[in-house]
Amino acid sequence: MLIVTHVAPDGDAIGSLLGVGWLLRSGRTLTLACADSVPVQLRSLPGAGEIVADPPAKTWDAVLALDASDTRRLGSPFRPAEYGSTPVINLDHHITNLFYGSLNYVDPSAAATAQIVVALHDAMGAPITREAAVCLLTGLVTDTLSFRTSNVTPSVMATAMRLMECGANLAEITERSLNHKPLNIMRLWGLTLSDLCLQGQVLWVRVTQDMRAKAGAPPDGDGSLVSYLINAPEAKVAAVFSEAVNGEIEIGIRARPGYDVSGLALSLGGGGHPQAAGCTIPGPLKAAEARVLPLLIAAAAMGAGNGTSQRDPQPK
Amino acid sequence: MLIVTHVAPDGDAIGSLLGVGWLLRSGRTLTLACADSVPVQLRSLPGAGEIVADPPAKTWDAVLALDASDTRRLGSPFRPAEYGSTPVINLDHHITNLFYGSLNYVDPSAAATAQIVVALHDAMGAPITREAAVCLLTGLVTDTLSFRTSNVTPSVMATAMRLMECGANLAEITERSLNHKPLNIMRLWGLTLSDLCLQGQVLWVRVTQDMRAKAGAPPDGDGSLVSYLINAPEAKVAAVFSEAVNGEIEIGIRARPGYDVSGLALSLGGGGHPQAAGCTIPGPLKAAEARVLPLLIAAAAMGAGNGTSQRDPQPK
């Protein structure tokens, strides 16, 4: 059996992939695949070393795709031309899922694909090992930012409790997958937050390679600065403009519920969800800002204005 | 009945105070008291407007003290000389609690005083109204930083689930009580994080009134900066030295599991938990730093060194 998760994997992608692996491995030969490498904060998950980028060309008894709304998102390890009559099972929680499987199990009410995995497994009455629980709780914790997103229902809490009772240490998982903020990233935050820009209801900052050098920070990564910015009550939309090593500008964008930044990201060649999107455009920084800021300001002005006080820091 | 919570109230102090108020008010006359005003992010909790700083001098049938490890922490609304034979009930989850009540219900295994309130109330089999659930879930969410601290057990998740099922909206509560970071507080973070100090394995910053003025920030409050600092893998202990308006220095301290800062805080006239403590000492800043830093460095060196990778951002 081949199990594939999406490119640029996050905690739910890797957590679900490994979790399903632990649940199904007894008596089966499994290949776990992901096009991109496992992010550093997830590498200590049990089984993370077994994930391959390039699965062998062979006849599978089944192909299981996890946490991916379309086949493009699965990248190179997913090669449907080779599958013939092999069943392709599509297991996901994204509302934008395209039902590309021969079997599709898509539940947009789930806060994470890991939650669906637990529900299906529990329906079969099978036990959950500690290894599986650790991986699946990592998926749940990362996709909900520690139970902070608006899709966290009592049943999400019940799933977390179930996984904790199977031996997953919630504090350890949170610490490894979410809290980790090295000193150089904190210094980078210091530099960027000292120069906050508010235009209309758009709060944004620049992260230049100069600032990274000054902070001793690596050439990419910023510890989810944009998810922090959207916490300002003054902002409806938040953005981080990051100068990449190659001179391109990576833009991370967040919006409050009732606002939608997925369309503008899509129009700039990127994509995402209504409240969490991103894109990469040519530099230099000034030109990128001049091009994108009017779009952000328009998105912040076009919000539903539906009076909700909720917002969702980073739906996945 | 008089119900009192501690000075400089946090989410668990106010949440438990109001929650108990909603649970007990039927058929009773209650006075809810706190020496200091309700923090802005908690003012929308139901009943927050009814809390008084100066309860009347009268004969109470009972006095209930919440979330306070000693009577000094209860401040001016707690006047035991007036209580005569009135029972004083001490309900708390701090391990440093001094058992000052005539009845003491102290459970250091609870992640929040709100959790104890729910457990006691459920033992009586009484229903929990939506108002009570909102207040109590606020206590649980703030004291565990959204279920991120190491004292979050399956039973904490069960309590959260129970309160959600009673009508408390977790996302809304998290948004209001934890995520709220006004722009001036973000600017204050920028100024402080630009000047991080690492000495041994102690990471610390200063927050002066000058910095507050420059950031346009209020004279107190910093959006839990110290809880952010302890996320640095380079630190075993983190501290924020804040210059108060009266010139005193308020010190917030965090430690990773395996390290203990409650003793040093106690020795400086403060208190708290092993991983989250605080105190207020005379200024000026330089003198306070000279006095406290050696103690912090000693605490960071005296850790268990038990190889745990866990740390606890902010147990209360």
Nearest Cα residue to A228 out of A269, A190, A184: A190
Can you tell me the distance from the alpha carbon of A24 to that of A22, in angstroms, rounded to the nearest whole number? 6
The pLDDT tens digits for B58-78 are 999 999 999 999 999 999 999
Q: Is the pLDDT of residue B244 over 70?
A: yes
Q: Is the pLDDT of residue A116 over 90?
A: yes
From B69's Cα to the closest Cα of chain A, the distance in A is: 25
CB contact under 8 A, A231 and B179: yes
Q: Is the pLDDT of residue B43 over 80?
A: yes
Q: Is the pLDDT of residue A190 over 70?
A: yes
Contacts of A301 (CB under 8 A, 6+ apart): A200, A201
Contacts of A295 (CB under 8 A, 6+ apart): A264, A267, A268
Can you tell me the distance from the alpha carbon of A132 to that of A134, in angstroms, rounded to the nearest whole number? 6
Confidence class for position A307, pLDDT limits 50, 70, 90: very low
**Which one has a higher pLDDT value, B78 or A314?**
B78
Q: Give the type of residue at A210.
A: D
Q: Is the pLDDT of residue A110 over 90?
A: yes
The pLDDT tens digits for B271-289 are 888 888 999 999 999 999 9
CB contact under 8 A, B181 and A157: no
* pLDDT value at residue B311: 39
Closest-CA residue of chain A to B142: A148
Do residues B246 and B256 make contact, with C-beta atoms less than 8 angstroms apart? no
Q: Is the pLDDT of residue B149 over 90?
A: no
Q: Is the pLDDT of residue A186 over 50?
A: yes
Contacts of A210 (CB under 8 A, 6+ apart): none
CB contact under 8 A, B310 and A180: no
CATH of A183-301, one of 3.40.50.11540, 3.10.310.30, 3.40.50.720, 3.80.10.10: 3.10.310.30
CB contact under 8 A, B164 and A153: yes
Q: Is the pLDDT of residue A66 over 70?
A: yes
Confidence class for position A304, pLDDT limits 50, 70, 90: low
* pLDDT value at residue A315: 40
CB contact under 8 A, B172 and A310: yes
Mean pLDDT for the stretch of residues B119-146: 95
* pLDDT value at residue A310: 38
The proportion of chain A whose per-residue pLDDT surpasses 90, expressed as a percent, equals 74
- β-pair partners for A5: A66
* pLDDT value at residue A314: 41
Can you tell me the distance from the alpha carbon of A67 to that of A307, in angstroms, rounded to the nearest whole number? 32
Please name the member of A157, A183, A232 whose beta carbon is closest to the beta carbon of B198. Answer: A183
Mean pLDDT for the stretch of residues B240-248: 96
CB contact under 8 A, A183 and B234: yes
The CA-based angle A280-A284-A285, given to 5 degrees, is: 75
* pLDDT value at residue B300: 96
Q: What are phi and psi of A120, to 5 degrees?
A: -65, -45
Contacts of B73 (CB under 8 A, 6+ apart): B6, B7, B271
The pLDDT tens digits for B197-226 are 999 999 999 999 999 999 999 998 898 899
CB atoms within 10 A of CB A39: 17
- Taking contacts as CB-CB distances below 8 angstroms, the residues of chain B near A158 are 157, 161
Closest-CA residue of chain B to A148: B171
Q: Write down the pTM of the prediction.
A: 0.83
Confidence class for position B166, pLDDT limits 50, 70, 90: very high
CB contact under 8 A, B186 and A232: yes
Q: What are phi and psi of B119, to 5 degrees?
A: -60, -45
A168 phi-psi bin (left φ>0, alpha ψ -120 to 50, beta other): beta
From A199's Cα to the closest Cα of chain B, the distance in A is: 13
Q: Is the pLDDT of residue B307 over 70?
A: no
Question: What sign has the CA pseudo-torsion A58, A64, A70, A74?
Answer: negative
Domains A2-179 and A183-301 share a fold: no
Closest-CA residue of chain B to A227: B179
The Cα-based distances of B110 to B113, B147, B276 in angstroms read: 7, 12, 15
* pLDDT value at residue A223: 86
Do residues A194 and B191 make contact, with C-beta atoms less than 8 angstroms apart? yes
The pLDDT tens digits for A7-26 are 888 899 999 999 999 999 98
Do residues A43 and A50 make contact, with C-beta atoms less than 8 angstroms apart? no
Mean pLDDT for the stretch of residues B299-314: 56
Q: Is the pLDDT of residue A69 over 90?
A: no
A55 phi-psi bin (left φ>0, alpha ψ -120 to 50, beta other): beta
From A101's Cα to the closest Cα of chain B, the distance in A is: 33
CB contact under 8 A, A309 and B150: no
Confidence class for position B304, pLDDT limits 50, 70, 90: low
CB pairs under 8 A between A and B: 142
Mean pLDDT of chain B, nearest integer: 92
- Taking contacts as CB-CB distances below 8 angstroms, the residues of chain A near B165 are 154
Please name the member of B157, B169, B181 whose beta carbon is closest to the beta carbon of A232. Answer: B181
Nearest Cα residue to A34 out of A42, B158, B281: A42
- Taking contacts as CB-CB distances below 8 angstroms, the residues of chain A near B157 are 157-158, 160-161, 164
CATH of B2-178, one of 3.90.1640.10, 3.30.56.10, 3.30.450.30, 3.60.21.70: 3.90.1640.10
Can you tell me the distance from the alpha carbon of B49 to that of B43, in angstroms, rounded to the nearest whole number? 7
Q: By three-state DSSP, how is residue B273 classified?
A: coil
* pLDDT value at residue B306: 40
Q: Is the pLDDT of residue B314 over 70?
A: no
- Taking contacts as CB-CB distances below 8 angstroms, the residues of chain B near A140 are none
Interface probe with A: pick from B115, B149, B161, most Cβ of A within 10 Å: B161
CB contact under 8 A, A190 and B195: yes
CB contact under 8 A, A157 and B154: no
Confidence class for position B303, pLDDT limits 50, 70, 90: confident
* pLDDT value at residue A134: 98
* pLDDT value at residue A243: 96
Task: Indicate the pairing of strand A63-66 with strand A88-92.
Answer: parallel
- Taking contacts as CB-CB distances below 8 angstroms, the residues of chain B near A150 are 171
* pLDDT value at residue A202: 98
CA dihedral A286, A290, A292, A295 (to 10 degrees): 160
Please name the member of A149, A180, A229 whose beta carbon is closest to the beta carbon of B233. Answer: A180
DSSP H or E segment with residue A198 = strand A197-199
* pLDDT value at residue A293: 98
From B85's Cα to the closest Cα of chain A, the distance in A is: 44
Do residues B143 and B114 make contact, with C-beta atoms less than 8 angstroms apart? yes
The pLDDT tens digits for B95-114 are 889 999 999 999 999 999 99
Closest-CA residue of chain B to A145: B146
DSSP H or E segment with residue A17 = helix A11-24
Q: By three-state DSSP, how is residue B311 classified?
A: coil
The pLDDT tens digits for A209-266 are 999 999 999 888 888 899 899 999 999 999 999 999 999 999 999 998 889 998 898 8
Flag the least confident range among A130-134, A150-154, A155-159. Answer: A150-154
Nearest Cα residue to A209 out of A149, A168, A250: A250
The domain segmentation of chain A, as residue ranges, is: 2-179, 183-301
CB contact under 8 A, B182 and A149: no
Q: Is the pLDDT of residue A305 over 80?
A: no
Please name the member of B171, B235, B309 whose beta carbon is closest to the beta carbon of A149. Answer: B171
Interface probe with B: pick from A40, A44, A192, A231, most Cβ of B within 10 Å: A231
- Taking contacts as CB-CB distances below 8 angstroms, the residues of chain B near A198 are 183
Can you tell me the distance from the alpha carbon of A120 to that of B55, in angstroms, rounded to the nearest whole number? 55
- Taking contacts as CB-CB distances below 8 angstroms, the residues of chain A near B187 are 193-194, 196
- Taking contacts as CB-CB distances below 8 angstroms, the residues of chain B near A164 are 153-154, 157
Task: Indicate the pairing of strand A88-92 with strand A202-207.
Answer: unpaired
Do residues A272 and A253 make contact, with C-beta atoms less than 8 angstroms apart? yes
Confidence class for position A311, pLDDT limits 50, 70, 90: very low
CATH superfamily of A2-179: inorganic pyrophosphatase (n-terminal core) (3.90.1640.10)
Mean pLDDT for the stretch of residues A284-311: 80
Closest-CA residue of chain B to A174: B148
Nearest Cα residue to A3 out of A65, A52, A76: A65
- Taking contacts as CB-CB distances below 8 angstroms, the residues of chain A near B177 are none
Closest-CA residue of chain B to A160: B157
Complex ipTM more than 0.90, yes or no: no
- Taking contacts as CB-CB distances below 8 angstroms, the residues of chain A near B148 are 146, 171, 174, 178-179
